[in-house]
Structure 1
Amino acid sequence: MIFGGGPLLVLAIRRPGILFLSLWLAAAAAQIAVRGQTPPSRYPREGLRAVSLRFLVFAPVIACLARWLWPGHFLTLPREKPGLWLAVMLLYPLLSVWPQEMVYRAFLFTRYRPLLGTPSARICASAVAFAFAHVIFLNWIAVILTFAGGLMFARDYERYGSLAPVCLEHSLYGCLIFTVGMGQFFYTGAAWHHAPA
């Protein structure tokens, strides 16, 4: 219901308010369900450092690819709508990242650990579920990017057992994507407005 039916239901209804409400309700339920069951954190400071260093390497690559593939959208949000861009930079980590990580990392890893007995199985299942959630944006680029990101986030959660480095990593790449013009693939307004209901 959560990982399969949830995204399909949101896509069927196509109301941004329902999207955020369902995400936060799922995150709250997930937090209650795994309270006291998550494994102890392992080296969260080391995780924060590793995530930051990796971002310094990957960020220029992603920015160059965005400039090359979608030059007409490159940096349009901070240049043309700096107020909206700043709001996204501040609110995206708070309103979107934590609930997603609670559902797709903390809950999935804890609830399905008996079924997904190996780290590789948990990482792959988390990445697939995370990518499938992004079918609501009605484009393959969002699904492919979130599958790749989901592999990184899940791997870090498996390694460090903490949402802190994972939320940092998710926030960094999410804010980068919106900054360099790839947010067009993660915007329900554009996807739902142009697609048939």
Structure 2
Amino acid sequence: MRLVEYLLIFFGLVGVYIAVHVPGGPIPVLLVAAVAIVFYLRRATGFDRANFWRRGSLRGVLLLWAAVTVLTVAAVAIFDRDMLFDLPRREPLLWLAIIVFYPLVSVYPQELLFRAFLLHRYSPVFGFHRAAAAASAAAFGFAHLLFGNVIAVVATVVGGWLFARRYQRTQSLLVVSIEHALYGITIFTVGLGQYFYHGSSL
């Protein structure tokens, strides 16, 4: 039954949301879902509440992020030079707002949903290792069909796998949210934000 529930929530309901084009973007839905998930997880058997804010080493996170950022800047410079650092150049206030608010209203709610909730709730179906990470990555990538382009989906499938494995190793939403936020800020800074932007939402 939990497999059916997983499919209904992360592919059925999300698919309907994408098809209907709900006004206002995904942020309000994410925030409501985040509140509900926190209530659920605080009462869920076997979930350690310390996972919400547990500290962990960021060394590996920062090293990988730095390497990926250098490669991303190089790729944009080669293939779409006009867009390199487009947002901070054209709209510095919007760019600054994204840096400040994106981790709070978008990243952490997404990590609650696609990592903490999904990996805990459906562990009886997928276990605790690679199969569960794949389920998280598939759901995360599917949700980004909302943006209507292949780049967003491919990037979030890869990112979803990375974040799921990081969460499995650290059991820290704080660490994985910092990692997610770093990649998101890189995307909006280097000139790829057009592939991850939905109206007025982050």
TM-score (norm 2): 0.86
Matches within 5 A, 1:17-166: 17-36=24-43, 37-39=46-48, 41=51, 44-46=55-57, 48-166=58-176
**Gaps in structure 1 of 5+ consecutive residues:** 191-197
Structure 1 position 72, deviation (Å): 2.1
Secondary structure (helix, strand or coil) at the match of 1:127 reads helix
What's the secondary structure of 1:189's corresponding residue? Answer: coil
Rounded Cα–Cα distance in structure 1 between residues aligned with 2:22 and 2:77: 31
- Cα 1:12/1:143, change in 2 over 3 Å: same
Shift in Å, 1:123? 0.6
Distance 2:24 2:130 in 1: 35
Partners of 2:25 and 2:93 in 1: CA distance? 25
Q: Which amino acid aligns with 1:63?
A: V
Distance 1:15 1:66 in 2: 31
Change (3 A) 1:18 1:189: closer
The offset of 1:55, in angstroms, is 1.3
Runs of 4+ in 1 over 3 A off after TM superposition: none
Is contact 1:2-1:26 (8 Å) kept?
A: no
1:5 matched residue in structure 2 = 12
* Alpha carbons 1:34, 1:107 under 8 Å: kept: yes
Aligned to 1:193: none
Displacement after TM superposition at 1:150 (Å)? 0.7
Aligned length: 189
Instruction: Give, as a single letter, the amino acid of the residue that structure 1 aligns with 2:31.
Output: W
CA contact (8 A) 2:56 2:172 kept: no
User: So what's the TM-score if we normalise by structure 1?
Assistant: 0.88
Q: Deviations over 1:146-188 (max 9, x none)?
A: 0111111001001011101100000000000000110110112
Shift of 1:16: 4.6
Deviations 1:61-111, CA, capped at 9 Å, x for gaps: 111112222222111110111111111111111110000000000000110
Q: Contact (CA 8 Å) 2:56, 2:170: kept in 1 or not?
A: no
1:185 aligns with 2:198: no
Matched residue type, 1:9: V
Q: Take 1:45 and 1:158, find their aligned partners in 2: how far apart are those partners?
A: 12
For residue 168 of structure 1, give the secondary structure of its aligned residue in structure 2.
helix
CA RMSD between the two structures:
2.0
- Give the Cα–Cα distance (whole angstroms) in 1 for the partners of residues 23 and 83 of structure 2: 23
Supply the distance in 1 between the matched residues of 2:28 and 2:171 (Cα, whole angstroms). 27
